[in-house]
């Protein structure tokens, strides 16, 4: 199976938070409005329902509704990627198909914690996604299991998000693979841009989009300036990030994951 090696986007994407009302219900309009605001501030793509979006707490219907709301709120030039994983290939395929049907331009798929046949799992994901690219998600322990570097050339995927923050692994990925690699740690932005990564998908871009874009473009001062936000966003995740958002934008700090 052949794959287009041209990235769906280059530069910084936001790993979008999911906003909830005071009772813990999904506030899709507010979430979509925040996505549109960030696109206006320079992010090149939006990930809905990833780890930052508290994906473990969302039903399939909520995820599809969020995808549709965000896709409607953004210009066509800003891709929407939906996190759509599963504990086995059938569950993942159903969630992927629903996300693409709701308007996702691509899907981000973590392998199960016990993946078994990794190629078969991603074959099922690619089939369910149809023409939409599948990006693998490597963040073992937080989002499913491992995507080994050695497996990358043989997987039916168009790209990879690696949120481990490992500079060594990033270099290994770029050495063995010609498809899009996106970092998930804002601490690696300057390096990622310098060594040829396609971009980044960041939680901290919810509050510091301009600084994130500048750091990936080579601004060392912006990279250093992101440290405080990077560290605070990890506090009682996602509570620290949502508190920063509330301070900057007046959005709800409510989280389902406490």
Give a yes or no: residue 255 inside a domain: no
CA distance 154 to 45: 26
Please say if the pLDDT value at position 245 is more than 60: yes
The single residue listed with the structure tokens 């969630």 is 95
Please say if the pLDDT value at position 162 is more than 60: yes
Give a yes or no: residue 256 inside a domain: no
Q: Which amino acids are annotated catalytic?
A: 137, 161
Domain encompassing residue 173 = 11-249
CA distance 238 to 51: 9
Please say if the pLDDT value at position 156 is more than 90: yes
pLDDT at 2: 41
The single residue listed with the structure tokens 């322990």 is 141
Q: Are 253 and 239 in contact (CB under 8 A)?
A: yes
CA distance 91 to 154: 22
pLDDT at 34: 98
CA distance 175 to 169: 10
Residue in 152, 16, 3, 177 with CA at minimum distance from that of residue 83:
16
Quote the pTM value.
0.95
Residues paired with residue 64 on neighbouring β-strands, in sequence order = none
**Rg of the chain (C-alpha set):** 17
Residue in 162, 126, 27, 16 with CA at minimum distance from that of residue 82:
16
pLDDT at 254: 94
Q: Are 14 and 43 in contact (CB under 8 A)?
A: yes
Give a yes or no: residue 160 inside a domain: yes
Residue in 59, 102, 121, 108 with CA at minimum distance from that of residue 82:
108
Residues paired with residue 138 on neighbouring β-strands, in sequence order = 162
What is the CATH number for 49? 3.20.20.70
> Exposed, middle or buried by CB within 10 Å (0-12, 13-18, 19+), for 130?
exposed
Residue in 1, 67, 3, 83 with CA at minimum distance from that of residue 35:
67
pLDDT at 71: 98
Give a yes or no: residue 61 inside a domain: yes
| Residues 179-227: tens digit of each pLDDT | 999 999 999 999 999 999 999 999 999 999 999 999 999 999 999 999 9
Residue 156: CB atoms within 10 Å:
18
pLDDT at 5: 64
Question: If you average pLDDT over residues 82-98, what whole number do you get?
Answer: 93
Please say if the pLDDT value at position 69 is more than 90: yes
Confidence of residue 147 (pLDDT cuts 50, 70, 90): very high
pLDDT at 160: 98
Please say if the pLDDT value at position 68 is more than 50: yes
pLDDT at 1: 37
CA distance 46 to 191: 22
DSSP reduced 3-state for 136: strand
pLDDT at 10: 97
Confidence of residue 3 (pLDDT cuts 50, 70, 90): low
Give a yes or no: residue 2 inside a domain: no
CA 233 to chain centre: 15
Q: For 39-48, 86-95, 157-166, which range has the lowest pLDDT when averaged over its residues?
A: 86-95
| Residues 109-134: tens digit of each pLDDT | 999 988 688 999 999 999 999 999 99
pLDDT at 88: 87
| Residues 15-34: tens digit of each pLDDT | 999 999 999 999 999 999 99
Number of domains in the chain: 1
């Amino acid at each position: 199976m052949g794959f287009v090696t041209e990235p769906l986007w280059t530069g910084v994407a936001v790993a979008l938070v999911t906003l909830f009302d005071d009772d813990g219900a999904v506030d899709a309009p507010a979430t979509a409005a925040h996505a549109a605001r960030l696109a206006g501030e320079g992010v090149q793509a939006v990930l809905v329902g990833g780890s930052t979006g508290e994906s473990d707490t969302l039903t399939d219907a909520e995820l599809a509704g969020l995808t549709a709301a965000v896709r409607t709120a953004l210009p066509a030039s800003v891709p929407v990627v939906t996190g759509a994983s599963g504990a086995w290939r059938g569950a993942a395929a159903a969630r992927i198909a629903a996300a693409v049907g709701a308007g996702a331009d691509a899907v981000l798929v973590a392998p199960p914690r016990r993946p078994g046949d990794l190629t078969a799992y991603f074959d099922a994901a690619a089939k369910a996604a149809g023409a939409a690219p599948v990006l693998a998600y490597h963040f073992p322990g937080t989002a499913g299991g491992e995507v080994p570097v050695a497996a990358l050339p043989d997987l039916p995927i168009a790209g990879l998000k690696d949120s481990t923050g490992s500079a060594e692994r990033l270099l290994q990925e770029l050495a063995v693979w010609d498809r899009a690699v996106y970092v998930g740690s804002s601490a690696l932005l300057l390096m990622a841009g310098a060594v040829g990564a396609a971009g980044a998908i960041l939680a901290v871009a919810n509050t510091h989009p301009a600084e994130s874009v500048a750091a990936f473009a080579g601004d060392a001062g912006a990279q250093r300036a992101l440290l405080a936000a990077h560290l605070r966003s990890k506090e009682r995740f996602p509570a620290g990030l949502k508190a920063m958002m509330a301070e900057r934008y007046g959005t709800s700090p409510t989280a389902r994951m406490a």
